[in-house]
Every structure is written in C-alpha cells, then in structure tokens.
Amino acid sequence: MKHRIVVLGAGYAGAYVAGTLSRRLSAADTEITVVNAEPDFVQRLRLHQLAAGQEIEAPRLADVFAGTGIRLRLARVTAVDPERQVVAVADADGGGELGYDTLLYALGSHVADHGVPGVAEHAFHVTGRPAALRLRERLDGVGRRGERGSVLVVGDGLTGIETATEIAESRPGLSVALVARGELGAPLSAGARAHLRHACDRLGITVLEHTSVEAVEATRVLCADGTVLASDATVWTAGFAVNPIATAGGLEVTEDGRIVVDRTMRSVSHPNVYAAGDSAYAIGDNGLPLPMSCASAGYTGRQATAAIVGRLTGRRIANTKLEYVGNHISLGRRDGILQMIDGEGRAKPKYLSGRKAARIKAGIVRMSLWATSHPTFGLPSRTRRLADAPDAPAEKAVA
C-alpha cells in the first residue's frame, strides 16, 4: 500500500511542499493529495491590489499541478483527527474523510477581529480573494455616488499600510484614513517612518495615531476616546488569526491556535503531522517566533519538505534556514520601503525607499507566483524510494 501524504491548503507553503514532494519521492511508494477550498492559487500578497480595482493573476491549481501526479481535492477542511489519521472535508457532493500517513497542515490565516463588536458584520478585509472582491464592489459603489466617499483602514501593520496606500493611489476620488494604535510605522527605522509619513501626505491619506477602535457600525467607527469616525467602507487589517481546526483536533497549539512544531516543522504532539506557513509556530534561527508572512511560508515549507523526505527515505535531515531578514512594503505602484531587520527582530537603520524599493517588491511578488506556478522546476527528476521503516532514523534526524 502506498504511503498517503495529504497537504491541507494550497497557498504559498502548501503548493510548494506538495510540488517538491512529488519530484523528490517515488510515485511507486507514495500518493500525494492536496485539499484546497478554491480552484485557483490566491496571490495573497496582492489582494490589496485586487480590492483597489486592479487585476491579478490567479492560476488554476489543476494547471499548477498538471503532470506532477498530485491529486487535487477541491473541498473545505472541516476537521482533523490525528488519532485516527483522517481529515474531514466538505464539498458540493457532501464531502467525507481522507486518510493519511503523513499530514502537512498549511491552512494559513484569516482576519482577526479581536472580539471588537461589529467587525464580522460590517468591516471588509483582504485576507481572501472573495473578501477582496467584496471590498472592491463596495468601493465601486461608493465611487459611483458622485460624492467623495470615505474609506477607513483600521490597523497600520504591513497589510494596513499597503491597503490604504493602494486604495488612495488607485481611487483618488475617495477620502482614505488610516487608524494606528500607536505611532505610524512604529516598527520601522526613523528614516523609513519619515518616508512612510511623506507617502501618506503625498497620497492624501489622513493618519489617526494612538487611536483604538471599540466598535464598527455600518457607516461609522466608534473609538475608545469617544471619537466617532464616518466611514462608507471600513477595512479591518488589525492582525491575523488561524483556523481553530488544529486546536479542536487535539494537536498541541499555542494560545492563538498555531501548531507547535520542532526545528523540522514536525508537530511536537503528533509525529506524523507537519505544519508550515502561518499555521505553524516555528522558532527562527534568532530564537524568536517567525512572523506570519510569505517569507516564513517559504522557509517553513522548505524545512518541512526536507524533514518529510528525510524521514520517509531514511536519510539524514538537514536544517534549512529559518530567518526573517526584512519587510517589503508597497506604497502604491511606484513607491515602497525595504526595511532590513537585525538578529533581534528590530529594524536596522538601513532601508531602501522609492521606485527602486517598489520594483524589488514587485519582483519578489512575481518570483513567488512563478515559483508556485512551477512547483517542480529545477528539482531532480530522479525520485527516492521509501525506507522500510520511515520513522526509524527520527532520533538522528536533525543535522
């Protein structure tokens, strides 16, 4: 019987791991199934552009995995049972269960409302393609009214900054405001913060610093200091949360629901489960948890792949890099910031800004899409057979 590998999620991490495993492991010994709710690959890095009115590529996963031997199951994951080694899914036909021998959990993250009343009912977000299109439709409607509509972006993390600047540049007829709990761009270096503030001024974005939102209503936002902000479209970008499926399944997770993994991305509670991307609580080479990001998806995906291949084939497992070296922030299509990070996770004085930074960010996005769309490019065509006892070398796995 073939060893069944099931990959949950076909985002940046899941698609990479599945494609790489298909070229590294012999099809005579393994079968790989990818479960994803959407038929297309979602460029999450560019969903703020989609919401602003631009078109972005969405390759069909059937085309991405064509010729790899990977089975694609279009379904929504509803539960994971690591004791029985099954995954429950729901689809148009009613769903069912998938058994696995090795599981790669890469379901990513979604918007976190932090318990703020009204966010789920009235706010928009850009953590999924349907959500971005919903915001786009709302912005279209506001723009057609013939008056200067207002857009309020809550949260000044990278997603909030990119969303506010993209909407302001693409839709100059709208009034855009950005709400920050503290100082705008606080994690950035002084020079990068100054550039960010200049970009907001240039684009006409009103910045509301040291402001905490207590409730979101259909046409306004209520702040902790009693301020009431009118808003035709409130965009919530104040953090991310993971699906509670891992917690409900009994896997060891952190307080926020991310799967606790060892250095090889293996679950510390269930050795045949691996996690990558936003779903994994992974400690980087600097001793700090890796942040939820596309870069982290790449690093954790590579390490999970190396560990799965090594353990299943009885080979030594190499430690791949787990680092976070910088933040790439787009400020519309012609401006950006590249902020370097030191070993303690703090911003270095050195940064790059302007058109060059924007071109670098655009290049990274294009490279990420190409690599995901060609998951087996450059990999050896010679596959490896599985060992008789795949878990036997586990105790000497880490190089």
pLDDT at 125: 97
Whether 159 shows a pLDDT value over 50: the answer reads yes
Read off the DSSP letter of residue 395. G
pLDDT at 218: 96
pLDDT at 393: 41
Break the chain down into helix, strand, coil percent, rounded to 5: 30, 25, 40
pLDDT at 38: 94
User: Which tens digits make up the pLDDT trace of 329-338?
Assistant: 999 999 999 9
Whether 397 shows a pLDDT value over 50: the answer reads no
Number of residues that this document lists for the chain: 399
pLDDT at 4: 97
pLDDT at 394: 41
The candidate with the shortest Cα–Cα distance to 150, out of 183, 178, 126, 192, is 178
Whether 143 shows a pLDDT value over 80: the answer reads no
Give the mean model confidence (pLDDT) for residues 384-393. Answer: 64
CB 341 within 8 A of CB 325: yes
In terms of average pLDDT, the best of 263-277, 315-329, 375-389 is 263-277
pLDDT at 382: 62
pLDDT at 390: 55
Whether 377 shows a pLDDT value over 90: the answer reads no
Whether 148 shows a pLDDT value over 90: the answer reads no
364/286 Cα distance (integer angstroms)? 23
pLDDT band at 396 (very low <50, low <70, confident <90, very high): very low
Whether 294 shows a pLDDT value over 90: the answer reads no
pLDDT at 211: 96
373/363 Cα distance (integer angstroms)? 15
pLDDT at 93: 85
User: Which tens digits make up the pLDDT trace of 51-107?
Assistant: 999 999 999 999 999 989 999 999 999 999 999 999 999 998 888 999 999 999 999
Give the mean model confidence (pLDDT) for residues 310-336. Answer: 94
The candidate with the shortest Cα–Cα distance to 10, out of 105, 127, 112, is 105
288-319 burial, b at 16+ Cβ within 10 Å, e below that, comes to ebbbbbbbbbbbbbbbbbbbbbbbbbbeebee
pLDDT at 61: 96
2/48 Cα distance (integer angstroms)? 42
User: Which tens digits make up the pLDDT trace of 235-264?
Assistant: 999 999 999 999 999 999 999 999 999 999
Whether 40 shows a pLDDT value over 80: the answer reads yes
Phi, psi of 159 (to 5 degrees): -65, -45
Read off the DSSP letter of residue 246. H
pLDDT band at 176 (very low <50, low <70, confident <90, very high): very high
CB 178 within 8 A of CB 148: no
pLDDT band at 185 (very low <50, low <70, confident <90, very high): very high
State what percent of residues in the chain have pLDDT above 90. 85
pLDDT band at 141 (very low <50, low <70, confident <90, very high): very high
pLDDT at 384: 78
363/45 Cα distance (integer angstroms)? 12
pLDDT at 25: 93
pLDDT band at 381 (very low <50, low <70, confident <90, very high): low
Give the mean model confidence (pLDDT) for residues 158-174. Answer: 97
pLDDT at 380: 66
Amino acid making up residue 144: R
Give the mean pLDDT of the chain.
93
105-132 burial, b at 16+ Cβ within 10 Å, e below that, comes to bbbbbebbbeebebbeebbbbbbbbebb
